[in-house]
């Protein structure tokens, strides 16, 4: 038997090893072939600057790109704008816990307005069903499912972004993809977020949502009235949150959740305007904020506006006859 040339044998062995290694490497990368090239971010999107650094022309180009993407993906012409905050305006929300019946119409109006993903489902508002006699939110039920609401033994507490004056989520973002606007709204540049979810960990109100998968909306469900910082379509892997519907509220309209509320539990307005309804509520009602101890200084206030529970509590004793019923001033 002829001894093979050792250098040739080793060359062959090395060659086989290298080919096997490369094949295994290529096989490992195989899932990438499932990527749809049309869905990948374009070079233009990649080179886009941070929101605060874009010139008006660059912003117009970005908006045009978003319009084109919406047209391609949903087959509709979207009205995408960059709506700036108004001078002398600071938005505040007030929620009347005596009125809220826990119907969750606000949750669904919000989803319809803000183009959240329907699959997987993303909702900005969480309604807690609270047992009477406590404000400890750990006792709240998130998944209540009665045939009718309200349930007599409970009250209802919707929670959404509190637009804090001292927002922990903004502090922690490593790339400044989220910030507080002059009118108090904390917004996200969806094209800048790297998806580290540190802000989600920092938020004490469970107000932020992450796109764990590619968001899906049926074209007929898309709201074409869009703003760069609020309800334009998001991509997989970025954060999103409630912006008090800035594309509506900065144009003098009310947030979608407020308009959907059937019992008038939601009040919204400019706290810098002393004539506004929210200013009146903050002056006259016994308002409170959630988790005051964490120092976030929310712009979302809760209040109870009556001495006795709403009439749904039939099983509760009637108020004493001599109780003074103070009518709120009109």
Partner 1 sequence: MKAYLTFVWRCVRVSFVGDWRYHAWMLALTVLALLGLNAYCQQLVHGLAVTGMSDQVSWGLYIANFTFLVGMASSAVMLVIPVYIYRNRELHHLVIFAQLLAVAAIVMCLLFVTVDLGRPDRFHHLMLRFNFPISMLSWDVVALNGYLLLNMHICGYLIYCAYRRREPARVFYIPFVFTAIVWAVSIQAVEAFLFVGLGGRPFWNSAIIAPRFMASAFAAGPAFMMLTLAVVDRFTSYPVPRQALLTLRNIVTVALAVNMFLLVAEVFTELYAGTTHAASLRYLLFGLHGHDALVPWIWTAMGRNSLALAWLGMPDSGRRPALLYTACGLLIAGIWIEKGMGLIIPGFIPSPLGEIVEYTPTRNEVLVTLGIWAAGLMIFTILVRITIPVLSGRLTIDTRYHRGRLPQPGKGPVATAARPTTPAIAREESP
Give the binding site for partner 1 (CB under 8 A).
6-7, 10, 21, 24-25, 27-32, 34-35, 41, 46, 50, 120, 126, 128, 136-140, 142, 159, 168, 171-177, 192-198, 200-206, 208-214, 235-239, 291, 294-296
Of 143 and 326, which has the nearer Cβ to partner 1? 143
The neighbour count for residue 133, using CB atoms within 10 Å, is 9
User: Shortest Cβ distance from residue 319 to partner 1 (Å)?
Assistant: 31
Cβ atoms 292, 307 nearer than 8 A: no
In the complex with partner 1, the residue whose CB is nearer, 21 or 75, is 21
CB 142 within 8 A of CB 295: no
Q: How far is the CB of 212 from partner 1 (least distance, A)?
A: 4
CB of 136 to partner 1, least distance (A): 7
What is the closest distance, in whole angstroms, from the C-beta atom of residue 87 to partner 1 in the complex?
A: 26
Residue 6 beta carbon to partner 1: minimum distance, rounded to whole angstroms = 7
Asked whether the bond before 324 is cis by omega within 30 degrees of 0, the reply is: no
Cβ nearer to partner 1, comparing 1 with 27: 27
Q: Minimal distance in Å, beta carbon 118 to partner 1?
A: 14
CB of 203 to partner 1, least distance (A): 6
Taking the least distance from each CB to partner 1, the nearer of 13 and 79 is 13
- Please state the three-class secondary structure of the chain as a single string: CCCCCHHHHHHHHHHHHHHHHHHHHHHHCHHHHHCCHHHCCCHHHHHCCCHHHCCHHHHHHHHHHHHHHHHHHHCCCCEEECCCCCCCCCEEEEEECCCCCCCCHHHHHHHHHHCCCECCECCCCEEEEEECCCCCHHHCECCCCCCCCCCCCEEEEEECCCCCCCCHHHHHCCCCCEEECCCCCEEECCCCCCCCCHHHHHCCCCCEEECCCCCCCCHHHCCCEEECCCCCCCCCCCEEECCCCHHHHCCCCCCHHHHHCCCCCEEEEECCCCCCHHHHHHHHCEEECCCHHHCCCCCEEEEECCCCCCCCCCCCCCCCCCCCCCCCCC
Minimal distance, residue 65 CB to partner 1, in Å: 16
Shorter beta-carbon distance to partner 1: residue 249 or 300: 300
| Nearer residue to partner 1 within complex by CB, 71 or 201 | 201
């Amino acid at each position: 038997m002829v001894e093979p040339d050792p250098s040739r044998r080793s060359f062959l062995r090395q060659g086989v090893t290298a080919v096997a290694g490369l094949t295994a490497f290529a096989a490992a990368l195989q899932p990438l072939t499932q990527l749809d090239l049309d869905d990948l971010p374009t070079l233009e999107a990649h080179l886009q600057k941070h929101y605060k650094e874009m010139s008006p022309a660059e912003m117009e180009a970005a908006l045009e790109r978003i319009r084109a993407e919406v047209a391609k993906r949903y087959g509709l012409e979207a009205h995408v704008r960059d709506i700036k905050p108004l001078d002398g305006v600071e938005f505040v929300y007030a929620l009347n816990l005596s009125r809220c019946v826990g119907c969750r119409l606000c949750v669904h109006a919000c989803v319809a307005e803000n183009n959240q993903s329907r699959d997987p489902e993303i909702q900005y508002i969480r309604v807690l069903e609270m047992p009477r006699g406590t404000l400890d939110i750990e006792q709240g039920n998130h998944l209540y499912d009665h045939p009718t609401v309200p349930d007599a033994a409970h009250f209802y507490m919707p929670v959404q972004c509190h637009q804090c004056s001292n927002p922990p989520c903004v502090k922690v973002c490593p790339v400044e993809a989220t910030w507080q606007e002059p009118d108090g709204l904390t917004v996200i540049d969806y094209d800048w977020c790297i998806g580290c979810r540190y802000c989600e960990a920092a938020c004490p109100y469970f107000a932020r949502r992450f796109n764990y998968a590619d968001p899906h909306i049926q074209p007929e469900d898309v709201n074409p009235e869009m703003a760069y910082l609020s309800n334009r379509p998001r991509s997989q892997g970025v954060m999103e949150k409630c912006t008090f519907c800035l594309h509506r509220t900065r144009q003098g309209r009310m947030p979608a959740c407020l308009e959907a509320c059937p019992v008038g539990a939601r009040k919204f307005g400019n706290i810098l305007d002393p004539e506004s309804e929210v200013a009146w509520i903050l002056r006259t009602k016994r308002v409170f904020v959630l988790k005051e101890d964490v120092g976030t200084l929310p712009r979302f206030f809760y209040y109870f506006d009556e001495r006795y529970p709403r009439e749904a509590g039939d099983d509760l004793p009637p108020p004493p006859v001599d109780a003074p019923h103070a009518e709120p001033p009109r």
